[in-house]
Each structure stands twice: as structure tokens, then as C-alpha cells.
Chain A
Amino acid sequence: MAATTEQSIGDSGRIPGGTRRRARPEEPASILDRMGKGNLLYVLPGLLIYAVFVFVPILAAVVISLTEWNGLVVPSFVGLQNYIKLFSDHEFYIALRNNAEFMVFYCVLPLVIGICLAAIISVVGQRERLVLRTLFFLPYIMPTAVLGIIFQWLYNPAFGPFNQILKAVGLGKIALPWLGDFTWVLPAVGAVAVWYFFGFCMVVFLSGMQRIDPSLFDAARADGAKGWQSFWHVTLPQLMPEVRVVLLLTVIASIKSFDLIFTMTRGGPGNATLVPNIYMYELGFQLNRYGYAAAVAIIGALLVFVVNFAIHQGMRRFDRSSV
């Protein structure tokens, strides 16, 4: 998908992760820009529909986060109280910690697996590669709410296939009640996220690899680099834009995660898989505390920015040290 999102962002807006301006010469205007006026006409239609149906409600949510509101009567303004309360809300910290752990499964593991698979897929022929690529991407097209239902059943300790296989191969001892185990429930749900994202990551990396200048490999080979060495020294550094895109998208997905966790565990057992988005749902739709729920949502959105900023910074440092 946006194999290129971040590149364009890096050039024009450098969002998310930093609206800071870098002192550098203004980009040269395109030849198309010089041609005439009415530039805004190209922006307005899309912007207008976006503003009406998305941005205004987002602004309203910010306002609501400053109020106490049960969703029915007129909200009462409470200033920053909701945010202050959040800082001493034990459950919110649990949700944040769980979300950080989920990031390993949403972001890190799919990235690593995706990059490894992309690296080794060249061992098979063109046709086989096409089939594999098609398969790997398949999970990504599924509605996550439906996936939750499927996997909840796959994990069932009594008649689910997962434990059935474990028992069949003599590993009955580790056939745990996955979704009811305080320790293992988060990795169990996380594994579904890995399954969902790894093929997507691989396809993005694969397309990135096709972009790499073959002469770089020739040069590396001339220097005596073996397969994995040239992967490490040539492929990986060249793939940094794709890594950044994949991280950007998976980080957003992890912080926005809801359907999968909701359908599999509802945040349980005992808050072991509670994440801010589930917490927001409970607060809003179950307890009618919409102001407080909106504050949770806003903090979550800010987190996306902070994490992406961190990634952006980290990657830049990496770029500099490796190039």
C-alpha cells in the first residue's frame, strides 16, 4: 500500500511524527504549478467532504473530551479534568502497557517475518512465487471481526484444532486454555495479528527489493560478499523506506486495534488484553461516560503521533549511520 506514503510525507509534510520544519530550500515548483491559477480547485472537493464528515466530528470529539457527557443530555464543561483523571486511572495504565506489548505482535514480528520471507522467496520460481505471494497476502483482506470469531474457535481448549494438534504430537502439556490464561492470552491474540500482517509486510518489502539497483549487488559480490552479507549490507539498508512505511501502518493499526481483541476476549480475562480502544468502548458505549471516553481516544491519537515521531527520528539516525 503505501509503499510510498512516507517518502512523499518526507518530502512535503513530514507527518506523522513531526511537523517540525527542517531548514532547507523550498522544493522547486513543478512545471505544472506554473501553468495557471486555481490550484485550490484541485484540493477543495476532497478537502471539503473530508472536513464535513471526518474532521469536524474529530474536533467535536476533542471538545467532548473536555466535558462530562452521558451521550443524551447537554454536556457540561469540566476543562481538563478528564485528562487529569486519566493520569491516575490504574486501568488506563494497564491498557497502555498491554498496547505496548501488542506492538511487538502488530509491528515487530510481522516486520521481521516479512523481511525474512521476502529475502528467501527468490529461491522459488516465478509461478510458485506468485502463488505464495497471493497466499501470504490473503489474511489481510479479511474483516478482522470475522477473524476474531474464527480464531476464538481455533484456540478452544476442548475442541479447537490448535490444542488438538498439540495433543496429537505429544505436547498435551502445553495445550493451555489460551484465551483464559493470564500469561498467554496476549501472545495468543497477538499471534493472530502476526498472522494478519506478515504477508502484507512481505509484499511491501518485495516491491521495495525490486526497486534496488542491481549494480549494488554486483558491487557487493565483487567485494566477495556472500548471500546473507549482501542482504545485510545492501538489501536491508535500501529497504529502510519500506520499513518505515510498514512501521507507520502497523503502529497505527496496533493503537487502533479493536475488532480482533473485542471479538476474541473483550479485553479479558481480568483486563489481561485491555487496550485503550476497548477501554474507550466500555467507558463510552457501556457506561455512557462519553467525555472520559473521548479523552482516552484523544490520548490514543496523540500516542500515534508520538510513536511515529520516535520511529521517524530513529530511522533518520539509522539512515545517517548506515549511509
Chain B
Amino acid sequence: MARSGVSTAPTVPFRIVLWLFGLITVVPFGLLLLTSIKSRADVLKGAFALPDYPHFENYVAAWTDGRFGTYFVNSVIVVVPVVAVSIVLGVITGFAFAYLRFPFKKSIFVILTFGMMVPTEAFIIPLYYEMLYLNLINTYWVLILTQIALSVPFATIFMASAMRQLPTEVLEAAVLDGATRPQVLLRVIVPLLAPAVSTLALFLFIWTWNEFLLPLILVNDDSLRTLPIGALFFQGKYTINTPVLTAGAVIVIAPIVVVYLIFQRKFIEGLTSGATK
């Protein structure tokens, strides 16, 4: 990276620009946190005005009235299997697209990409009726299965492209040692692609955690809802309680921020290794 060719450039102005952009990314988060501990009257006093005391009761209101406890558990119940199964499927299907020949390979690939292009809003109504027919409405299953299905195209393409960049010699060596295909996949390919897998995991986690439309439509029972629905809950037809709403938003994003901060090193490594030819 040190060799990207601008090492002779002046440092200070660039550094200012960089940190300016860094600031721009965090200020809204800071203001969000600040608003979440204000009273409704404080909100009108200006964004940077501090409240007299931190109104943590906003969090209590969001947590209890918004039933965040239940929603949090539901989000976890849905996200974990979605991420895990999508990765497994992505690795297996990606393996096929990277190394194997099979009939209609190109057509199947085209069909998979549809899933990335067509917005969910476009097919949510037929999906609802289909799920109803399969008796899956109002279950965890419907949230898990549909979101796995939505993740398959990206997971497949992502894993396939990462596998294509592995040096063929390694695979050949393994095959010459007498390894079967599942063995090559599990013992050679997957360990080599660990960073790419963790990148994929993080992306799937973010997308699934933030998914709004599917749980909104496919689940009617309050006890099965996920967090993002809770986040927008405090909007009445005519009333809105900004501090409680922002407190709810903080509760929803906190887990993703934590996961991101823990995994971000690995994750960016994954991006990097995926792109290396």
C-alpha cells in the first residue's frame, strides 16, 4: 500500500482531508447517541445542546414498550442460522461454479443473479401467498428460509470468485495426494479462504440483521418480530417521540457496531485476499 505511488505527495493537507471525512462518518452517530438521552423539549434546543441530565429513561421506554427484549432474541434466532447455512451453501455452490462443469451452468448463473437485482418489494406479495400455502407464515422458519434463499446468490458468487483465485497447484497437489473432492473442499480450500468466509459472514450478518420488509410482511405475531421493526415502532400516525425513537435505533445498531468492530480486521483482510489475483 505504501507503494500506491503518491508517497511524494504533501502529507498534512491530505491528512486533514482524511480526518475530515472520518469526522463526517462519526458525527451523525454521536448526535444519535446524544439525542437518545435528551428529553423531547431538549431536542428543540438545538442538536449540540446538552440535556440537563441524561434521560436514560428513553432506553427503558424503548426496551419495555418496544419489547426490545423479545425482538432481540428473535433477531439472534434468525440471524445465526441464516448466516451459517448461507455460508455453507455459498461454499458448496460456489465450489461448483468455480471448478465444476454441469449442464446449464451459464443459465443457472443468470437466474441466480436475478435474486440480486430484483427488489424484494417486487415479489413480496407472491412470496407471501406461497409461504401461506406452505403453512410457514408466522414461524421462525419463514424468516430463516427466505433470507437464506436471498443470500444464496451473493454467497455463491462471492465464494466462487474467491476460489477461482486460489493457485491451482495447491489443489492439484491435494488431488495427487489422493484427496476426494469433499476433502479438498474442507481441508484445503476452506482453510485458505477463511478471511473471505469471515467477510461474507459479516456482510450476511449486517444485511440479515437490518432486514425490514420480510419480517414486516411474513410475520404477524408480535412475539416473532425482529429488532428493526421495533426500531421504527414509535411512530404513530400523528405523533413521534424522537428521543425514544433514537434510543430504539441505538439498541438496534449497537450489536452490529460491536460485531463490526470485533471482526473488522479480519473482514478487511478478507476483502483484500479476495481481490488478490
CA distance in complex: A31, B189 (Å): 14
| B192 CB contacts on chain A under 8 angstroms | none
In contact, B6 and A277 (Cβ under 8 angstroms): no
| A64 CB contacts on chain B under 8 angstroms | 125-126
Interface residues of B in 233-277 (CB under 8 A from A): 242, 245-246, 249, 252-253, 256-257, 260-261, 264-265, 268, 271-272, 274-277
CA distance in complex: A212, B5 (Å): 11
| One of A10-18, A88-96, A314-322 at the interface | A10-18
In contact, B18 and A120 (Cβ under 8 angstroms): yes
- Give the residue name and chain of the A residue nearest to B259 (CB): A141
| A54 CB contacts on chain B under 8 angstroms | 114-115, 123, 146, 149-150, 152
| A33 CB contacts on chain B under 8 angstroms | 99-101
CA distance in complex: A217, B268 (Å): 24
| B256 CB contacts on chain A under 8 angstroms | 141-142
What are the interface flags for B146-173 relative to A under an 8 Å C-beta threshold, 1 for contact and 0 otherwise? 1011101111111011101100100110
- Give the residue name and chain of the A residue nearest to B210 (CB): A143
In contact, B48 and A15 (Cβ under 8 angstroms): no
> Given A159-B47, A208-B275, are A146 and B6 also a contact pair (CB < 8 Å)?
no
| B8 CB contacts on chain A under 8 angstroms | 226-227
> Given A124-B18, A208-B275, are A47 and B242 also a contact pair (CB < 8 Å)?
no
In contact, B46 and A305 (Cβ under 8 angstroms): no
Interface residues of B in 14-55 (CB under 8 A from A): 14-15, 17-19, 21-22, 24-26, 28-29, 31-32, 35, 43-48
In contact, A294 and B97 (Cβ under 8 angstroms): no
Chain B, interface size category, equals 35 or more
A309 at the interface (CB under 8 A from B): no
CB proximity of A107 to chain B, nearest CB, Å: 15
A122 at the interface (CB under 8 A from B): yes
| A211 CB contacts on chain B under 8 angstroms | 275-277
In contact, A145 and B228 (Cβ under 8 angstroms): yes
In contact, A141 and B115 (Cβ under 8 angstroms): no
In contact, B14 and A161 (Cβ under 8 angstroms): no
In contact, A29 and B21 (Cβ under 8 angstroms): no
In contact, A58 and B31 (Cβ under 8 angstroms): no
CB proximity of A61 to chain B, nearest CB, Å: 4
Which one of B149, B172, B184, B249 lies within 8 Å of A149 (CB-CB)?
A: B249
What are the interface flags for A186-219 relative to B under an 8 Å C-beta threshold, 1 for contact and 0 otherwise? 0000000001001100011011111110100100
Number of interface residues of A (CB under 8 A): 121
Which one of A53, A119, A241 lies within 8 Å of B127 (CB-CB)?
A: A53
A269 at the interface (CB under 8 A from B): no
In contact, B25 and A195 (Cβ under 8 angstroms): yes
In contact, B4 and A133 (Cβ under 8 angstroms): no
Which one of B17, B116, B175 lies within 8 Å of A31 (CB-CB)?
A: B175
In contact, A235 and B4 (Cβ under 8 angstroms): yes
| A121 CB contacts on chain B under 8 angstroms | 1, 18
CA distance in complex: A119, B115 (Å): 34
CA distance in complex: A205, B272 (Å): 9
- Interchain residue pairs with CB less than 8 A apart (8): A13-B105, A16-B113, A43-B97, A117-B21, A145-B212, A150-B249, A280-B119, A297-B119
Residues of B within 8 A of A (CB): 1-9, 11, 14-15, 17-19, 21-22, 24-26, 28-29, 31-32, 35, 43-48, 89-90, 92-93, 95-103, 105-106, 108-119, 121-127, 130, 145-146, 148-150, 152-158, 160-162, 164-165, 168, 171-172, 175, 180-181, 184, 199, 203, 206, 209-210, 212, 228, 231-232, 242, 245-246, 249, 252-253, 256-257, 260-261, 264-265, 268, 271-272, 274-277
Residues of A within 8 A of B (CB): 1-5, 7-9, 11-13, 15-16, 19, 29-33, 35-36, 39-40, 42-43, 45-47, 49-50, 52-58, 60-61, 64, 71, 113, 117-124, 129-147, 149-151, 153-154, 158-161, 164, 195, 198-199, 203-204, 206-212, 214, 217, 220, 225-228, 230-231, 234-235, 241-242, 252, 255-256, 258-259, 277, 280-281, 284, 290, 294, 297-298, 300-301, 304-305
